[in-house]
Amino acid sequence: MRYINEFKTYLKVEKEISPNSYSAYIRDLSEFEDYSKVSENKVTRNHIRGFLSFLNDKFNQPITRRRKLTSLKMYFQFLENEKFIKKDPTKGMPSPKVESKEPQYLTEKEIKKLMTVIDKGRDEVIMKTLVETGIRLSELAGLNIEDINIKNKTIKVKRKGNKEQTIPINQNLNSLLKSFIKNKNQDEPLIKSIFKKRMSKRRLRILVKRYFKKADINKDHISVHSLRHSFCVRLLEKDVDLRTIQILAGHSSITSTERYLHVSSERLRKEVAYAEVN
């Protein structure tokens, strides 16, 4: 692609997107280039439609096709805005519809069961931080010792889009972290592998899944991200308002937080009993 270097600079400097999103955009564009084999100024809507049809046969996942179309839309909109092309061929194209799935989460009983099988030390810090702050796996992997403020009981987290947010932590987690980071250098990673290097997201994911298995938690579609969902659900069930949950979870939109409203249906069913007129 002729203007890919300019687009890379745009993503890094102006959009300030995360490394993962950056890699995904570039990978999607490379895949489209391999498929279409035409220069940007010759791409038509038919090329885009053909690519989506190709993806449908290859992946059969609407969410995958939508993400790749989003990459193309961003790229061609950039090209049009910068006058590299006359017309954006993706303009007005509808995105594939994606069925909204209920967030999978662990109940409070399951969380307690999970925590009983965790090894002390590093693994306890990993699991308690994920469970009690709701931060993403990538956010945990990116933490350094200097991001932990024991005095103020806070953690500085780098959210999506490289935005920093300082979130409060409870006293028990604060005490655990205080002991864990004692006598460590401020600039070193909070979580290290056995090779004394920053633990990767992949290794963290494997570790968490191992503890799911050890705790005999076998719910359908359960994942590491379910710990984040569980955090939001627990707050909601303790009557924390949506705006507060949105801030603590780092959701850019309240719509993301509203997904958790339906998961408290059992509690709501019990509460509605108070409206009964005898």
Confidence (pLDDT) at 60: 58
Six token digits for residue 77: 């909109």
Residue in this structure with the two tokens 């303790």, named with its chain if needed: 238
- The 10s digit of each residue's pLDDT in 98-147 is 655 566 888 889 999 999 999 999 999 999 999 999 999 999 999 999 99
First to last CA, the chain: 72
- Quote the CA–CA distance of 247 and 129 in Å, as a whole number: 17
Q: Are residues 247 and 118 in the same domain?
A: yes
CATH number at residue 184: 1.10.443.10
Side chain identity, residue 78:
F
Q: Which are the catalytic amino acids?
A: 136, 160, 225, 228, 251, 260
Domain boundaries, position 54: 4-81
- Angle at the Cα of 272 (from 266 to 273), degrees rounded to 5? 105
DSSP-assigned letter for residue 152 = T
Same domain membership, residue 196 and residue 127: yes
Same domain, yes or no: 156 and 250: yes
Tens of pLDDT, residues 139-173: 999 999 999 999 999 999 998 777 889 999 999 99
Query: What CATH number is given to the structural domain containing 74?
Result: 1.10.150
